[in-house]
Amino acid sequence: MTRIIAGSAGGRRLVTPAGEATRPTSDRVREALFSMLEARGAVAGARVLDLFAGSGALGLEAASRGAAAVTLVDAAPAAVAAARRNTAVLAGDPARIDVVRSTVRRYLARPDVGPFDLVLLDPPYPLGEDELAEHLAALAAPGTPAAPGRLAEGALVVVERSARSPEPRWPDALTREQDRRYGETAVWTAVRASP
């Protein structure tokens, strides 16, 4: 059972996509991750992007804990359907929640995306390191006057992977901060470097 851990929707159950290779983040990992994020003031009032969102558990946890706006992105129809159903657990919450059916590559290529204060990436474990590096580079690409960058100044990027995976290859615009291990799960954080 997946549920919202804390905040306005704390304890509410979430549905997970049926028949998909979705790997929801465990309650233990989500609790540790959000304790760290809240301790640094990265959630309340933040504009949050949840890539490879699956059921939306990470982004909805952020909304429950006071994020101002959350965008959930996934390409799988069953995942998008589950994420849309799960947004109902935050009905009446002031956070604006958008669910977008798209690949991460197509979504990050859009000119109207961002800026975000907090980005959560929980890609499928089989996703190759080169593809992950491409997504991080697209995320951190500088903006233009016509299209602002994807990341706000000081934005935090969180990547969740298998503990057996190598560290993500961070683009120059992201400064690695730390990594934490929770059994079979590793969580890396990086912050947008000052221009």
Q: Give the containing element (helix H, strand E) for 50.
A: strand 47-51
Q: Are residues 136 and 170 in contact, defined by beta-carbon separation less than 8 angstroms?
A: yes
Average pLDDT of the residues in 131-145: 88
pLDDT tens digits, 176-194? 998 999 888 899 999 997 6
pLDDT tens digits, 17-27? 865 455 566 77
pLDDT score, position 30: 85
Helix, strand, coil share (%) of the chain residues, nearest 5? 25, 30, 45
pLDDT greater than 70 at residue 88: yes
pLDDT score, position 183: 85
Q: Are residues 121 and 135 in contact, defined by beta-carbon separation less than 8 angstroms?
A: yes
Q: At what angle do helices 57-64 and 27-39 cross, to 10 degrees?
A: 40
pLDDT greater than 70 at residue 121: yes
pLDDT greater than 70 at residue 146: no
The pTM score is 0.92
pLDDT score, position 192: 92
Range 2-192 classified under CATH 3.40.50.150:
yes
Q: Where are the domains of the chain?
A: 2-192
pLDDT score, position 3: 87
pLDDT score, position 23: 59
